[in-house]
Amino acid sequence: MLIYTLEKIHIIYPVLAIVLLQFLSIIHLRFIFQKAVKSREVEYRFFRLYEGSSPEYLRLARQHYKNLFEIPILFHLLCVVLFIIDDVREFDLWIAWSFVISKYIHSYIRMTSNYVPNRAYSFYVSIILLLAAWISLAIRII
């Protein structure tokens, strides 16, 4: 079996794409906060402890932001490990970019229709991809 090892820097590009998604989510959340305050659906003091009632769109944006710092952390770690051990393969890049695409799709669904079956599908695809990548790494280093 031919295994083609790429330059390790290539694994950083998908990480940067996820970081971009995380920053876009922060910017989006800021606009959502501003909208909620301007429309007087929440008061500034709500943001001290995030206690009390808030509109659904605000809760949705906050949950989305929070989720982008859960599973993607495992992705960041995986890519850093691949970079450190200098063993980035085509399979790794295929998985990494597929994970990125699935997270962007998940984010789009979540912030537009929020149709749960489609959102769940994109979420589980990203989980399966990440699991496959970790299994591949484990097989290599064990």
Burial degree of 44 (CB within 10 A; 0-12, 13-18, 19+): exposed
Q: Average pLDDT in the 58-64 region? A: 91
Tell whether 39 is covered by a domain: yes
| Residue 103, C-beta contacts closer than 8 angstroms, at least 6 positions apart | 18, 21, 68, 72, 122, 126
Average pLDDT, the chain: 92
Per-residue H/E/C for 22-82: HHHHHHHHHHHHHHHHHCCCCCCCHHHHCCCCCCHHHHHHHHHHHHCCCHHHHHHHHHHHH
Structurally, how many domains does the chain consist of?
A: 1
Q: Which residue has the tokens 């003091």?
A: 45
Quick check: 71 pLDDT over 90? Answer: yes
* 14-29: pLDDT as tens digits: 999 999 999 999 999 9
CATH number at residue 24: 1.20.120.550
- Predicted pLDDT of residue 79: 98
- Which residue type occupies 80? V
- Predicted pLDDT of residue 19: 98
Tell whether 16 is covered by a domain: yes
Half-sphere exposure of 40 (CA within 13 A, CB side): 0
Nearest one of 31, 15, 4 to 111, comparing CA atoms: 31
Structural domain span for residue 73: 8-141
- Predicted pLDDT of residue 128: 98
Tell whether 2 is covered by a domain: no
Give the Cα-Cα-Cα angle 83, 85, 87 (nearest 5 degrees). Answer: 75
Tell whether 14 is covered by a domain: yes
Quick check: 5 pLDDT over 70? Answer: no
Q: Average pLDDT in the 57-67 region? A: 92
Nearest one of 101, 122, 99 to 110, comparing CA atoms: 122
- Predicted pLDDT of residue 50: 72
Tell whether 121 is covered by a domain: yes
Query: Can you tell me the distance from the alpha carbon of 90 to that of 100, in angstroms, rounded to the nearest whole number?
Result: 15
